[in-house]
A and B are shown apart, each in its own frame.
Chain A
Amino acid sequence: MSSDDMLGRVFAGVDKLTAGASRMLARNTSRRSFIGKAGAFMAGLGAFPMLPVYREAHAASVVDEMGDPNSCEYWRYCAFSGSICGCCGGTATTCPPGSEVATVAWVGTCHNPADGRDYLISYNDCCGKSSCGRCRCSRSEGEKPVYFPSKANTILWCFGAQSHAYHCTLGLVIGRADSTVLG
């Protein structure tokens, strides 16, 4: 990734990107709490386009996948921007110790070569600590400018966290792109 793209991330997320309306799912929230948070978020977004997705409460589905989650080439990172949390003490799906996961995120649609299907990926920032700075990665498949946050990755996405200091980013599989049900 270029130094220019990463500049804001290094300096507390000056160049972080957004996502659209429904990509701000907290991974471990219940459906009820998610709907409450999503409702508040939607009110704030006003006229933004929304993805027709829902989250099932018990749906930790298994996805066949291959590749190194700490590599920028990993299939989940097709619209990623930032530092990969697996290089910072966390994993692709968990924030490092002492950081706080953002409750909203942007979403990409990535192709999984292992099963040939497309999935919705939620890119949640981990926040509240100085920038990790390792395993920087910037890809922009299907990514859009900031006025379309559902697919933008240049927004500092530490919303919902106590501090919007950027640390690193997760890549969560939240559903299949051809489904209206989030995984």
Chain B
Amino acid sequence: MPLRAACTMVLGLLLSLPAVGEQQWDSIRGAVITAPTEIGPHWFTLRNGHTGHVLDAATGHSYGTLTLSMFSPALRPHASAGMVYTYGSFYSRTYYGDRTDAVIFYDLETMSPVDEVIIPPKAAGIGHSGMIGLIDERFVGVWNITPGMSVSLVDVETRQFVGEISTPGCATVWPYARGFFMICGDGALQYIKLDESGAEAGRLRSRIFFDVEKDAIYDYSVPTADGWLFVSMEGQVFEARLVDDEIVIAEPWSILTEQDSKDGWRIGGRQPFAYNAATGIFMTLMHKNGSQDTYKQAGTELWAFNRERKRRGYRVELENPSRNIALTRDDDPVVLIVGSEDREVDVRQAQTGRLLRTITEVGGLVQVF
């Protein structure tokens, strides 16, 4: 090494010493941190296999993961309690042996299970958020299929199993007030009303408003300020409310103009639409040249609507097609677009469609707090 170069290197080392000296040595054992207790407006979860991720779309930061069972399709955040609930099935020999099903309580600060309630071994293993609902911040409802259909209820305050309600022909749990809506195979909605203890206090049935053979609605739904919103495979939007002990289904409106239909656009995906009640922004994932058989196909475009005016505001071409979207609940929402080709989540400002950031190496079912 030439003398001049050697002198330069030594000088550099000397100059860098003070900076190194200011650093504390790391603990030889490492340490475990906890997540913030205050949940941000853009926090969300992703369920991918038997791992649940808790992330902040505002920064792209991961606050940790939840270890789920291999039969846990969805999470149910309960922000005010600092908890996340899920259900799962466990075999004594992982894939075989004695089976135990439980609703599991995760503490958000430690991202660890802190309690569980055993439920009947009937829970469905289907992958979207309609399989588990938090009802009136008091009860968790879990949809069962054996293939007879029912709902198991757990009291999250007493942490006790409340009971099982038979719901023949009806699926999913969409909570509203102290009860929940279900979608039924005959083309109607059902509402199960609970009493103070979580037992059934009554049930209501809507008019039949869709035909499963002609134009079925998705088995997915998103909440409005006073009900739930359902979408059919042909793009008809139905809004359901509970008014004076009656399920009211509003007249549908279409997300497609005549020209859209001529151009072959269709809705598609597993969580193919999203709604933000604070702004009235409604979004859909769209693909071209399909049929009703492509109702789960990934969208190549994101369309944004004003729900009140029932008009489209903008459309965005997606480089990474998506089957799963969600809108945060605040008044300056972002839309979370989970990629189906690249394992990434695009975060876009909902009002403008502008891409804010991409969160890499995550995917799956998306749910907001």
Q: Is B199 an interface residue (CB 8 A)?
A: no
B87-125 interface code vs A (CB 8 A; 1 in, 0 out) = 001010011110100000000000000000000000011
Which B156-212 residues sit within 8 Å CB-CB of chain A? 166, 168-172, 182-186, 212
**Chain B residues, CB < 8 A from A143:** 293
- Picked from B91, B183, B216, the residue with its CB within 8 Å of the CB of A165 is B91
Q: How far is the CB of B190 from chain A (nearest CB, A)?
A: 10
Which of A13-21, A69-77, A86-94, A173-181 is found at the contact surface with chain B? Answer: A13-21
Q: A43's closest neighbor in chain B, by CB?
A: B148
Which of B33-41, B237-245, B294-302 is found at the contact surface with chain A? Answer: B294-302
Q: A47's closest neighbor in chain B, by CB?
A: B169
Q: A4-B270, A48-B169 are in contact. Are A145 and B126 (CB under 8 A)?
A: no
**Chain A residues, CB < 8 A from B96:** 128-129, 162-163, 165
Q: How far is the CA of A163 from the CA of B72 in the complex (A)?
A: 15
Q: How far is the CB of B68 from chain A (nearest CB, A)?
A: 9
Instruction: Assess the A159–B146 pair: CB atoms within 8 A.
Output: yes
Q: How far is the CB of B345 from chain A (nearest CB, A)?
A: 13
User: Which 5 A-B pairs have CB atoms at the shortest separation, nearest pair first?
Assistant: A46-B168, A44-B148, A145-B219, A156-B125, A47-B169
Q: Is A49 an interface residue (CB 8 A)?
A: yes
Instruction: Assess the A147–B171 pair: CB atoms within 8 A.
Output: yes
- Picked from A5, A18, A144, the residue with its CB within 8 Å of the CB of B147 is A18
Instruction: Assess the B73–A8 pair: CB atoms within 8 A.
Output: yes
**Chain A residues, CB < 8 A from B363:** 3-4
Instruction: Assess the A12–B126 pair: CB atoms within 8 A.
Output: no
Instruction: Assess the A146–B172 pair: CB atoms within 8 A.
Output: yes
Query: Can you list 21 A-B contacts (CB < 8 A)?
Result: A4-B324, A8-B126, A16-B126, A41-B147, A45-B149, A45-B168, A45-B169, A47-B168, A47-B185, A49-B185, A104-B147, A130-B95, A140-B294, A140-B295, A142-B293, A147-B184, A149-B147, A155-B147, A163-B91, A165-B70, A165-B96
Q: Is B145 an interface residue (CB 8 A)?
A: yes
A8-39 interface code vs B (CB 8 A; 1 in, 0 out) = 10111111101000001000000000000000
Q: How far is the CA of A8 from the CA of B74 in the complex (A)?
A: 11
Q: How far is the CB of A181 from chain B (nearest CB, A)?
A: 23
Q: How far is the CA of A45 from the CA of B270 in the complex (A)?
A: 25
Binding site for B on A (CB under 8 A): 2-5, 7-8, 10-16, 18, 24, 41, 43-49, 104, 128-130, 140-149, 154-156, 159, 162-165
**Chain B residues, CB < 8 A from A145:** 171, 183, 212, 216-219
Q: Is B280 an interface residue (CB 8 A)?
A: no
- Picked from B147, B219, B298, the residue with its CB within 8 Å of the CB of A44 is B147
- The residue in A45, A143, A159 that gathers the most chain B C-beta atoms within 10 A of its C-beta is A45
Instruction: Assess the A156–B219 pair: CB atoms within 8 A.
Output: no
Q: Is B48 an interface residue (CB 8 A)?
A: yes
Instruction: Assess the A149–B145 pair: CB atoms within 8 A.
Output: yes
**Chain A residues, CB < 8 A from B343:** 3
Q: How far is the CB of B199 from chain A (nearest CB, A)?
A: 20
Q: How far is the CA of A15 from the CA of B73 in the complex (A)?
A: 8
Q: A10-B49, A145-B218, A165-B70 are in contact. Are A45 and B148 (CB under 8 A)?
A: yes
- Picked from A13, A46, A130, A147, the residue with its CB within 8 Å of the CB of B125 is A13
**Chain A residues, CB < 8 A from B333:** none
**Chain B residues, CB < 8 A from A130:** 94-95
B285-327 interface code vs A (CB 8 A; 1 in, 0 out) = 0000000011110100000000000000000000000011000
Instruction: Assess the A140–B147 pair: CB atoms within 8 A.
Output: no
Q: Is B364 an interface residue (CB 8 A)?
A: yes
Known contacts A4-B340, A48-B169, A145-B218; can you find 15 more A-B pairs with CB under 8 A? A7-B48, A14-B73, A15-B127, A18-B145, A47-B184, A146-B126, A147-B172, A147-B182, A147-B212, A149-B145, A149-B185, A154-B219, A155-B145, A164-B71, A165-B91
**Chain B residues, CB < 8 A from A43:** 148
- The residue in A104, A130, A164 that gathers the most chain B C-beta atoms within 10 A of its C-beta is A164
**Chain B residues, CB < 8 A from A155:** 124-126, 145, 147
Instruction: Assess the B145–A140 pair: CB atoms within 8 A.
Output: no
Q: How far is the CA of A13 from the CA of B147 in the complex (A)?
A: 15
